[in-house]
């Protein structure tokens, strides 16, 4: 009996140990599966970014977002200081990522489709040869994109600087390209393409902000001047109307007095005829007193209007 109980206890202990090991194995498998899922999601995101940076439209969307956020951080407002995806030529072929408004109908086109994939590879690698090769490819990409911008001729429709700004969302990428190729700056200027990072764009955007502010102030001053001129003309018209009304009122009062005098003379002339006819109802008297009082009141009103003018 004792041996049987010991064997039963040993079997029960072994069963519990087996169940615990199975649970631990299941938990380990679940953790491994979660790690695989996270790895797959990360790889998918990396592939999406790779596809985005490898295509012009994807680079344009990402670069435009960085460009717009940079402009807003500098205090520029869309519609007042800049516009996004503006069709300059009217056919859709000339559509820069941003157009800075600098006043006088002048505009500055800004392109933000430059890829930084090669520069990122140069930063991440520890091999000097790989870094140099990645930077050379980065310079070739800048030249290729600049040649495309020069061929589009944005300056024909946006002629504030007679060229195009190629925005790169990293000053370090611009400096690295200039250090790698000493002739890059001259080559870009010959094609009227101005390469700049966030710092250079901040200078250009600040100038655009100042120009737009000056333009707005000038428009406000011109609007106030135009409103003052209209008010002056309206005041002159009102004074002329008041003077004309005063002249007509004076003529009316003079004619009314002559009319009353003539009527009184006529009444005096007709009185003998009335007595001869023995009419029971005499002629009514001319209300000269009321009319004179009314005339005096009108004259007082006229005097007050003249004094107010």
Residue whose structure tokens are 């109980």? 5
The C-alpha angle with vertex 186 and arms to 200 and 54, in degrees rounded to 5, equals 65
Distance between CA atoms of residues 184 and 153, nearest Å: 20
The per-residue pLDDT for 59 is 55
Quote the tokens at residue 10. Answer: 């040993």
Cβ contact 99:83 at 8 Å: yes
Q: pTM of this prediction?
A: 0.51
Cβ contact 155:108 at 8 Å: no
Long-range interactions of 57-66: CB distance < 8 A, separation 24+: 59/112, 59/113, 59/114, 59/115, 60/97, 60/112, 60/113, 63/97, 63/112, 63/113, 63/114, 63/167, 63/169, 64/97, 64/98, 64/112, 66/112, 66/169
Distance between CA atoms of residues 113 and 59, nearest Å: 5
Q: What is the CA 224 to chain-centroid distance, rounded?
A: 23
Domain ranges across the chain: 53-218
The per-residue pLDDT for 293 is 44
- pLDDT tens by residue, the chain, 309 residues: 888 888 888 888 888 888 888 888 888 888 888 888 887 777 766 565 554 455 445 555 666 777 888 888 877 787 777 888 777 766 666 778 888 887 667 788 888 878 777 887 888 888 888 888 988 898 898 898 888 888 887 777 766 677 888 888 888 888 888 888 888 889 988 888 888 888 888 888 777 777 666 566 566 666 777 777 777 778 777 887 777 788 878 888 888 788 777 777 777 776 776 666 666 566 667 665 444 444 455 555 545 554 454
Quote the tokens at residue 284. Answer: 């009514």
Quote the tokens at residue 73. Answer: 């951080």
Cβ contact 209:102 at 8 Å: no
């Amino acid at each position: 009996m004792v041996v049987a109980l010991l064997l039963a206890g040993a079997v029960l202990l072994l069963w519990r140990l087996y169940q615990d090991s199975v649970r631990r194995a299941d938990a380990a498998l679940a953790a491994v599966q979660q790690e695989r899922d996270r790895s797959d999601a990360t790889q998918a995101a990396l592939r999406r970014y790779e596809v985005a940076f490898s295509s012009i439209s994807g680079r344009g969307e990402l670069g435009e977002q960085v460009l717009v956020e940079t402009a807003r951080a500098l205090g520029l407002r869309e519609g007042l200081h800049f516009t996004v995806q503006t069709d300059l030529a009217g056919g859709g072929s000339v559509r820069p990522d941003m157009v800075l408004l600098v006043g006088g109908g002048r505009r500055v086109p800004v392109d933000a489709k430059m890829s930084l994939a090669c520069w990122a590879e140069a930063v991440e690698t520890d091999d000097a040869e790989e870094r140099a090769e990645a930077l050379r490819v980065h310079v070739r990409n800048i030249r290729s994109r600049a040649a495309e911008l020069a061929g589009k001729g944005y300056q024909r429709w946006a002629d504030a600087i007679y060229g195009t700004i190629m925005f790169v969302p990293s000053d370090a990428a611009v400096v690295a390209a200039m250090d790698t190729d000493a002739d890059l700056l001259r080559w870009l200027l010959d094609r009227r393409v101005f390469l700049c990072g966030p710092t250079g764009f901040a200078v250009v955007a600040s100038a655009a902000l100042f120009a737009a502010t000056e333009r707005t102030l000038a428009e406000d001053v011109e609007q106030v001047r135009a409103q003052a001129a209209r008010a002056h003309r309206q005041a002159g018209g009102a004074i002329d109307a008041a003077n004309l009304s005063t002249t007509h009122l004076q003529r009316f009062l003079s004619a009314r007095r002559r009319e009353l005098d003539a009527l009184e003379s006529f009444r005096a002339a007709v009185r003998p005829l009335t007595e001869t006819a023995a009419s029971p109802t005499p002629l009514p008297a001319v209300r000269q007193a009321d009319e004179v009082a009314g005339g005096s009141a009108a004259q007082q009103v006229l005097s007050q209007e003249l004094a107010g003018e």
